[in-house]
Chains A and B, each alone.
Chain A
Amino acid sequence: MEKLKVVNTECHGLDPVGTIQFIIASRIQDVRLIGLAVNKLCSFHGFSEMDAFGIELCVVEAVTNAIEHAYGCELGHQVRVILNLHPDRAEIEVRDQGSPMDASLLEEAGCAKLDCVPDDVELLSVRGRGLSIMKEMMDAVSYLQDGEENCLVLTKKLRSPPEAESAASAGQDE
């Protein structure tokens, strides 16, 4: 059974740009395949373990949103993920042809929303953290409608090793 299809591979090394495209069916069980592949490729490109994990998480969130919200968990659709590896960053496009997202959700998402933790657990939301996670972990998140496709673009800058190390140790100190 074919679960994940690599439709185009252009291996140019790290310079100038490498691009790979993945297509999965709208099956929630297959989301992890793209996540794992993106993590490995970003590690190969020079991202720290933590940054590659963060990119994987954001891609999983975006593809899961496409399946659950754009397609309403309906089978028989496709989600396309295009990973562009630039010398200084990774840029990931997550594309679907389902119902468009309300763009205001992306504007409202982020640190302030995550900070709203009510004392009463009953009032704590079970859902709705995905976009905020993406905005906090990535350097840029944008959403556009491109013809019949909805496209969420995630960008993560490649930090130099000392910068990445100091960021990691700062995270541990907190």
Chain B
Amino acid sequence: MEITHEKQDNLDVLKLSGRFDAACSKDFKKVIGALSDANSSRIVIDMSAVDFIDSSGLGCLVGALRTVNNLGGDIKICSLRPQIRAIFELTRLHRVFAIFNDRAAAEKSFQN
């Protein structure tokens, strides 16, 4: 999985692409750890280019949410493909994460 980090004025956007599985969980945790160390706690995760996610990937997202919540921030997820959204719904994690149809809506939600 490729992780692209874009720093904006008051938030960080992570664009993920490829497969989000156990093989890339270390890389993802490293990126979240670096953001946490920098006290970045407003994060948008753009998953428009993620074509596969398993329970390891979902677990990484839950771990990241815990980390960011402890800093007083939040993670907003956007642009899930139908198959990926189905996995969020199956595991009920759509009740845990704020999920938006597109990146602009996710970014805007931090302004509210």
Chain B residues with Cβ below 8 Å from A129 are: 55, 58-59, 91
Interface residues of A, dominant DSSP: helix
Which of chain A's residues 72-89 have a Cβ closer than 8 Å to chain B?
A: none
* A117 at the binding interface (Cβ < 8 Å): yes
Flag if A68 contacts B59 (CB, 8 Å).
Answer: no
Smallest Cβ-Cβ distance to A132: which chain B residue = B91
Of B18-26, B32-40, B100-108, which binds chain A? B18-26
Asked whether any CB of chain A lies closer than 8 Å to the CB of B69, the reply is yes
Assess the A130–B54 pair: CB atoms within 8 A: yes
Question: In the complex, what residues of A have CB within 8 A of residue B90's CB?
Answer: 114, 133, 136-137
Whether B23 lies near A121 (C-beta < 8 A) is no
Distance in angstroms from A80 CB to nearest chain B CB is 19
Question: Which residues from B are CB-within-8-Å of A50?
Answer: 83, 86
A152 to chain B, nearest CB (A): 15
List chain A residues, Cβ under 8 A from B66.
Answer: 121-122, 124, 126
A56 to chain B, nearest CB (A): 7
Range class of the A interface residue count: 20 to 34
Partner of B83, one of A28, A53, A128: A53
Does A172 count as interface, using CB distance less than 8 angstroms? yes
Determine whether A61 belongs to the interface, using a CB cutoff of 8 Å to chain B: yes
Would you call B4 an interface residue if the criterion is a C-beta within 8 Å of the partner chain's C-beta atoms? no
Interchain CB contact under 8 A, A64 and B54 = yes
- Are A133 and B86 in contact, with the CB atoms below 8 A? no
B-side contacts of A56, CB under 8 Å: 52
